Amino acid sequence: MSTFVIVGASVAGGLAAETLRKEGFDGRVVLVGAEPVRPYERPPLSKEYQWGTRSEESVFLKPPGFYEEQGIELLTGRDAVSLDTRSRRVSLADGSRIGYDRLLIATGASPRRLAVPGADLEGVLYLRTLEDARALRERISGSSRVVVVGAGFIGAEVAASCRRAGLEVVMLEVLPVPLQRALGPRVGQVYADMHRAHGVDLRTGEGVAELRGHGRVERVVTTSGHVFDCDFVVVGIGVAPETRWLEGSGVEVHNGVVVDELCRASAPDVYAAGDVASWWHPGFGERLRVEHFDNAQSQGVAAARSMLDKEIPYAPVPFFWSDQYEVSLQYVGHASGEDPVVFRGDPGSGSWSAFYLRDGWLRAALGVNRFRDVSAARRLIAAHVSVEPEKLADEGFDLKTLAREVARSR
C-alpha cells in the first residue's frame, strides 16, 4: 500500500488530503500539522471572527470526525523538523519518522517578526493562527488604544476591525500608502483616505524604532521620533514561506519551494502547494508565489491530482478578496504595485474598479462592488489579451461582451 504524506494541515494540505480520497486513492494518507487543531480558514480571523459575527467552530474546513471517516491520519500538534529525500522519510520533533511514497509540502508561511528593542514585550501580537486570533479578540475587548505596525492586508484589516470595536488606532507604514506593494500607489491612496475617514491615525513613511514598557508594551517610538501610547501592538509586516525544516534536504528553495506547473518539486515524488510554493505559471510566463486563500485551496487540489498522475497544468487566474469597513474588494490576476493602473468609475464612490496593465496586456483587475467588471476581467486575463486603456476606463464600454467574444474566438 502506498503512503502519501502531507506536511502542513491547513487549507492546501487539508484540501489535498480530501482530494486524494475523492479521486479514489485508497492508500495511506497522513496529514501532519504543527497546530493543535484540524484545518481551518484564516480569512475570518482578521474580520468576522473579530467582529463577533463568526464563531470559532465555523472556521473549520470540516466537521470533527471527517478526517477519521475518510481514513486520513491527522496528526495535530506535530512539527516536521527535517526531510530525507533519499530514504523518503519525514522526521518529526518528537523523534518519530514517517516514510512516504509521495510527499506534499504545504507548510504555508509564517509572520515576519519585528526586530527592534522591546519587540519581545508582552502585548506585542501577530496574527496568523486561531490562537493568535483568540488573543487579539481578548485584547480588543479589554483595551482602548492600539498601534498597528504595517498597513498590508493583515494590518489594514486589523485596523478596520479595531475601529469597528471603538478603539483608537494608530497605523504605521514605512511606504507612502497602505497596500502599496500589492495594489500600487494610486489604489493605496484610496485606502489611505478610507482609513483616515474612519478615524485611523495613519502615519506613512514611518517605521518602528523601539517598543517601550515595563514588562508589557506601553508605547511605540517611531523612526522619526514620535511616541504613541498604547495598550497593545499588532504587527503585520508580511510573511515568509515556511521552509526552515527543509534545510539540507536538497529540495530547491528560492522564495518558497520551487515547483513546476504540476506542483512537482526538485526531488522525486515531492510536491508543494499553497503559500509555500513558488510555481511556474505557463500563462503569465513567470514564477508566482501567491499568499491567498483561493490559491491554497485550488493548488492543494491540483497537487493531489498530480500526485495521482492526473497531470493537469496548474495555471489559474489567481483571486483574492479583502474586507475593510463596509468595503469589500475582489482582485483577479497577478500584477505588481508598480504596474500602470487604469480606473473605471470614481474611486471615491462605493463602486469602482481598477485594471493593471503590463506591456499593454491586462494582468490584473480589482473591483469594489463591481462583480461584473471583475468577472469580465478574469476572462480577459485568462485569454491573455491586450485591451486599450481608454476602453477599460470608459463606463460605457461593455467589458462583458468583449470577454464573451474573446472567449468565443478561442
List interacting residues with ligand FAD (CB under 6 A).
7-13, 32-35, 42-43, 45-46, 79-80, 106-109, 127-128, 154, 242, 245, 274-275, 291-294, 296, 320-322
Q: Residue 207 and residue 200: Cα distance in Å, rounded?
A: 16
Which of 11/175 has CB closer to ligand FAD? 11
Rounded to the nearest whole angstrom, what is the least distance from the CB of residue 130 to ligand FAD in the complex?
A: 9
CA distances to 83, 105, 179, 238, 241 from 258, rounded to whole Å, are 16, 11, 26, 20, 11
**H or E segment at 365?**
strand 361-368
Chain-centre distance for alpha carbon 217:
28
Using only C-alpha atoms, the chain has a radius of gyration, in whole angstroms, of 22
Smallest distance, ligand FAD to C-beta of residue 388, A: 30
Say how far apart CA 161 and CA 245 lie, in whole Å: 34
Q: Which residue number, 60 or 321, has a Cβ lying nearer to ligand FAD? A: 321
Q: Rounded distance, CA 79 to CA 97, Å? A: 11
Q: 126 vs 228, which CB is nearer to ligand FAD?
A: 126
Contact criterion met (CB below 8 Å) for 6 and 100: no
> CA nearest 80: which of 275, 263, 243?
243
- Judged by DSSP in three states, 250 sits in coil
Closest contact distance (angstroms) between CB of 1 and ligand FAD is 23
Angle between the 180-197 and 153-164 helix axes, to the nearest 10 degrees? 20
- Beginning with the edge strand found earlier in the chain, give each strand of the sheet holding 124-126 in spatial order: 124-126, 232-235, 145-149, 168-173, 201-204
What are the beta bridge partners of residue 361?
A: 358, 386
Q: For the CB of residue 301, give the shortest distance to ligand FAD in the complex, in Å.
A: 12
Q: What is the smallest separation between the CB atom of 221 and ligand FAD, expressed in angstroms? A: 26
Least Cβ distance, residue 359 to ligand FAD (angstroms): 27
191, 184 contact by CB (below 8 A): no
Nearest one of 342, 339, 341, 287 to 315, comparing CA atoms: 287
**Smallest distance, Å, CB 361 to ligand FAD?**
23
**Smallest separation, CB 155 to ligand FAD (Å):** 10
Q: How far is the CB of 382 from ligand FAD (least distance, A)?
A: 18
Nearer to ligand FAD, 112 or 219 (CB): 112
Angle between helices 11-22 and 293-307 (to 10 degrees): 40
Torsion 92-107-105-298 (CA) sign = positive
* C-alpha cell at position 83: 526531510
Grid coordinates belonging to 309: 498522475
Q: φ and ψ at 330, to 5 degrees?
A: -125, 140
* Beta carbon nearer to ligand FAD, 35 or 231: 35
C-alpha cell, 297: 485551496
- Specify the residue, 12 or 332, whose C-beta has the smaller distance to ligand FAD: 12
- Closer of 189 and 249 to ligand FAD (Cβ): 249
Residue 152 vs 345, nearer CB to ligand FAD: 152
Min dist CB 370 to ligand FAD, Å, is 17
- 118/236 with CB nearer ligand FAD: 236
70 close to 18: Cβ distance less than 8 angstroms: yes
Q: Which residue's CB is nearer to ligand FAD, number 83 or number 392?
A: 83
Q: How far is the CB of 410 from ligand FAD (least distance, A)?
A: 28
Nearer to ligand FAD, 118 or 333 (CB): 333
